[in-house]
Structures are given as structure tokens and as C-alpha cells.
């Protein structure tokens, strides 16, 4: 059976896109939200590479802003391309979830 971490890798991109789509946010805050939602095993070491990957794909963009507590922070925003990708992720997730539920309920 695949490791839970491996299964989550592909899903985290969609979850992070969704978090960013709600409000401007920064990396540490994304990690805190993921933890709050039950992704206790997710670390900054796994979130920041995803943010870099999403930015390279032009699904998100960032702006450096003053932080109320210390140094400048990189705030993330979802792009129009990212909004479309998020819609596709949600559609695909719902299809996969239904298939898995069909198998488990049999």
C-alpha cells in the first residue's frame, strides 16, 4: 500500500491553491492552516517547494510586503490560470472521491 505522504503529495497542490484563493497569505500561514485542517504531517519543508512549483507554473504569484512582526514577507495570490486549475482540481477530486466511495461501500 502506498504511503499516506505519497498519496498526499499530489493533493496538497490543490489544497494550497484553495487556501490561497480565499485571501492573500504567506508560507507559514499556509502551513498553519493545513495543520488546522488535519494535515499534521505536513511541514514547511514540503509546502515551500510546492509554492515554488505553483509559481513557476504561473498558478500563483507573490508580492513582498512589510510584515507587522519583523522582516518582509512573501504574500501569495492566485492567478487566473490558478483559478482555472483549482476548478479542475475540485472537479477531478469529486470524481475520484466518488469512485473510491463506490468501492469502499460495496
Indicate which CATH number applies to the domain containing 44. Answer: 1.10.10.10
pTM: 0.88
Domain hosting 30: range is: 4-105
Give me the pLDDT at residue 67, please.
Answer: 83
Given a cut of 70, is residue 50 above it in pLDDT? yes
Give me the mean pLDDT over the 59-85 stretch: 94
Q: Domains in the chain: how many in total?
A: 1
Q: What is the mean pLDDT of the chain?
A: 91
Give me the mean pLDDT over the 98-105 stretch: 94
DSSP-derived secondary structure for 48-95: HHHHHHHHHTTSEEEEEEEETTEEEEEEEEE-HHHHHHHHHHHHHHHH
Measured in whole angstroms, the distance separating CA 57 from the mean position of its chain's CA atoms is 14
**How confident is the model over 1-37, as pLDDT tens digits?**
456 666 777 799 999 999 999 999 999 999 999 999 9
Amino acid at each position: 500500500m502506498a504511503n499516506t505522504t505519497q498519496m498526499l503529495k499530489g493533493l496538497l497542490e490543490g489544497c494550497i491553491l484553495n487556501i490561497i484563493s480565499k485571501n492573500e497569505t504567506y508560507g507559514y500561514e499556509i502551513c498553519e492552516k493545513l495543520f488546522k485542517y488535519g494535515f499534521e504531517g505536513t511541514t514547511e519543508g514540503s509546502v515551500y517547494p510546492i509554492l515554488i512549483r505553483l509559481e513557476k507554473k504561473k498558478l500563483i504569484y507573490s508580492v513582498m510586503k512589510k510584515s507587522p512582526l519583523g522582516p518582509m514577507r512573501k504574500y501569495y495570490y492566485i492567478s487566473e490560470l490558478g483559478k482555472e486549475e483549482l476548478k479542475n482540481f475540485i472537479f477531478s477530486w469529486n470524481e475520484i472521491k466518488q469512485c473510491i466511495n463506490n468501492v469502499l461501500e460495496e
